[in-house]
């Protein structure tokens, strides 16, 4: 069996599209284990670290927060467990995303109303400025 090629942090970054400071951050917060280092103190990453970092990157792209990713990684490290907990985490995230979409749609509607009411005149009669200066917070 051939030995796994070890990657420097720069090559790991290039292979995953994750910036070097982010890789270091993920190590600090425990999403990536601290890699072995060379005598000159350079980090060396194996294929497992590459796969784990790719997992974290994909989960971040899907909007999972760090705590959820930590839980999902813990589950991934225990392949014999039921996937119910992973599904629960994903369902909660889906609910959060749906709520954000609802809020963004309300924001879109308010901005549409605000810009549609603009007469294109002077700032003193500008509906955009008027709405923004309205200190009574209206929720739609």
**CATH number reported for the structural domain that contains residue 70 in this entry:** 1.10.1660.10
Asked whether residue 80 is domain-assigned, the answer is yes
pLDDT of residue 117: 74
Asked whether residue 138 is domain-assigned, the answer is no
- Half-sphere exposure at residue 122, Cβ-oriented, CA atoms within 13 angstroms: 1
CA distance 25 to 38: 20
Extract the tokens encoding 73: 């990684």
Q: Which of 23, 3, 5 is nearest to 14 (CA)?
A: 23
Asked whether residue 86 is domain-assigned, the answer is yes
- 55-100 pLDDT, tens per residue? 999 999 999 999 999 999 999 999 899 999 999 999 999 999 999 9
Asked whether residue 140 is domain-assigned, the answer is no
- 109-119 pLDDT, tens per residue? 988 887 777 76
Asked whether residue 139 is domain-assigned, the answer is no
Structural domain boundaries enclosing 129: 7-133
CA distance 133 to 110: 14
CA distance 135 to 100: 23
CA distance 100 to 58: 20
Q: Which residue has the higher pLDDT, 3 or 40?
A: 40
Return the residue matching tokens 């990713």: 69
SS3 content of the chain, % helix, strand, coil (to 5): 60, 5, 35
pTM, two decimal places:
0.77
Asked whether residue 2 is domain-assigned, the answer is no
Report the Cα–Cα distance between both ends of the chain, in Å, rounded.
Answer: 63
Give the mean pLDDT of 2-8: 75
Domain tally, the chain: 1
Asked whether residue 39 is domain-assigned, the answer is yes
- 102-111 pLDDT, tens per residue? 999 999 998 8
Q: Which residue has the higher pLDDT, 96 or 134?
A: 96
- 8-67 pLDDT, tens per residue? 999 999 999 999 999 999 999 999 999 988 888 888 999 999 999 999 999 999 999 999
- Structure confidence at residue 1 as a pLDDT band (50, 70, 90): very low
């Amino acid at each position: 069996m051939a030995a796994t090629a070890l990657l420097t942090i720069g090559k790991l970054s290039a292979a995953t599209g994750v910036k070097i400071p982010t890789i270091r951050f993920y190590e600090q917060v425990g999403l990536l284990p601290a890699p072995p280092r060379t005598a000159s103190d350079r980090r060396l990453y194996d294929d497992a670290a590459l796969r784990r970092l790719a997992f974290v990157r994909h989960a971040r792209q899907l909007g999972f927060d760090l705590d959820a990713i930590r839980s999902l990684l813990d589950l991934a490290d225990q392949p014999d467990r039921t996937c119910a907990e992973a599904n629960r985490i994903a369902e909660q995230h889906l609910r959060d995303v749906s709520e954000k979409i609802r809020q963004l749609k309300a924001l879109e509607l308010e901005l549409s109303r605000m810009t549609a009411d603009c007469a294109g005149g002077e700032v003193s009669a500008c509906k955009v400025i008027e709405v923004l200066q309205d200190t009574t917070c209206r929720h739609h």
